[in-house]
Amino acid sequence: MFPTPIQRRSPTAQFAYKSFLPLALFMWLLPLIAVAMFSIKPASDFTQGNYWGAPGSFEAFNNYGQVFFNSDMPRYMLNSFLITVPTVIGAVALSAMAGFALGIYRFRSNIWIFFMFVAGNFVPFQILMIPVRDLTLDMGLYNTKTGLVLFHIAFQTGFCTLFMRNFIRQLPFPLIEAARVEGVAEWRIFWYVVLPLMKPALAALAVLIFTFIWNDYFWAVVLTQGPESQPVTAGITSFNAQFRAAYHLMSAGSIVAALPPVLMFFLMQKHFIAGLTLGAVK
């Protein structure tokens, strides 16, 4: 193991390490801790210039109540869910099929189609902005959740296919050959043999895509406007315009907006990290 395990060092070093850990963490998360503290302060603290001192009074219920009952926030959150969940399902379904095709079958254009997905996934997506916005307008889907979902599915399919294909390549191929010898139809092999083995990959991708799409801001701004279809990342800017300079409310709003992917991460940590680091080790 590298670096040398701390247990092999002197007791002083061990003590120093263990006491430095929480301090380092505190410094690392300092900006976030500050915002969490903002969100429980009363408005009067900010007018009196008490930005970083102890809260004048505990106003968490008031502040978060305002966010939930006195703003468009719940609306934006719902929109985010209605955009994120269908995208996750769509992208995972499409890429599971494409990954199966590219991972199992040998045909001449296989590697080129694979590279098309990989390359498209690396593209700076600003180059897609004008044509995609036009296309969405032409289909009458501008400022709808559907328009946003369709684009997200398409774009995420690139990354997901890369992921799925590499995962399927690692499955034991003799299993599939055995099924073929038995005369099992190809689509049944996909459904009954390969798909059950892909469960870890499906879970990892679902968690990852959920976070990516929930946090998307650029496409939300390009393809939607107004509270009827904007997700929370874009909504938070109008929320902030509504409560200009009301730091206690703006920070409460930001925390609420950030919460679902954070919960997702802490509940599904193993899958999340497996998804992110696939390929980081051979």
Partner 1 sequence: MTTETEIQPRSWYKRNEIAVTPWLFLAPAILFFLVYVIFPIFQSIGISFYDWDGLGEARWVGLDNYVELADDSAFEVSLWNNLKWLVFYLLAIPAGLFIALFLNQTVTGIRIYKSLFFFPFVLSQVVVGLVFSWFYLPNEGLLSNMLSYIGLGPLNVLGDPTWATYGIIAAGLWPQTAYCMILYLTGLNAVDPEQVEAARLDGAKGWKMLWYVIIPQLKPATFIAFVVTIIGALRSFDLISIMTNGGPFGQTRVLSFYMFEKALSEYGFRMGYGAAIAVVLFLIMLVFIAYFLWSMWSEERGR
Contacting partner 1 within 209-248 (CB under 8 A): 211, 214-218, 221-222, 233, 236-237, 240, 247
End-to-end CA distance of the chain: give it in Å, rounded. Answer: 18
Q: Which contacts of 112-120 are long-range, i.e. CB under 8 A and separated by 24 or more positions?
A: 114/161, 114/162, 114/165, 117/157, 117/158, 117/161, 117/162, 118/158, 118/162, 120/155, 120/158
Cα–Cα distance for residue pair 29/51, rounded to 1 Å: 18
Q: With respect to partner 1, which residue has the nearer C-beta, 86 or 158?
A: 158
How many amino acids of this chain bind partner 1 (CB under 8 A)? 99
Q: With respect to partner 1, which residue has the nearer C-beta, 59 or 253?
A: 253
Q: To 10 degrees, what angle do helices 247-267 and 269-277 make?
A: 80
Instruction: Tell me: does residue 82 bind partner 1 (CB under 8 A).
Output: no
Q: What are the tokens at 107?
A: 């045909």
Establish whether the linkage from the previous residue to 3 is cis, with ω within 30° of 0.
yes
Contact with partner 1 (CB under 8 A): which of 176, 204, 250, 252? Answer: 250
Instruction: Tell me: does residue 13 bind partner 1 (CB under 8 A).
Output: no
Instruction: Tell me: does residue 78 bind partner 1 (CB under 8 A).
Output: no
CB of 65 to partner 1, least distance (A): 20
Which residues 152-171 are close enough to bind partner 1 by CB under 8 A? 153-155, 157-158, 161
Contact with partner 1 (CB under 8 A): which of 15, 51, 58, 173? Answer: 51
- Contacts of residue 64, defined as CB under 8 A and 6 or more positions apart, other chains included, come to 39, 252, 256
- Give CA 211 to chain center in angstroms: 1
- Contacts of residue 209, defined as CB under 8 A and 6 or more positions apart, other chains included, come to 87, 88, 91, 92, 156, 160
Contact with partner 1 (CB under 8 A): which of 101, 148, 149, 252? Answer: 101
Contact with partner 1 (CB under 8 A): which of 71, 76, 257, 271? Answer: 257
Instruction: Tell me: does residue 69 bind partner 1 (CB under 8 A).
Output: no
Contact with partner 1 (CB under 8 A): which of 43, 85, 97, 203? Answer: 97
CB of 163 to partner 1, least distance (A): 12
Contact with partner 1 (CB under 8 A): which of 16, 18, 44, 191? Answer: 18
Span near partner 1 by CB under 8 A; candidates 67-75, 105-113, 170-178, 197-205: 105-113
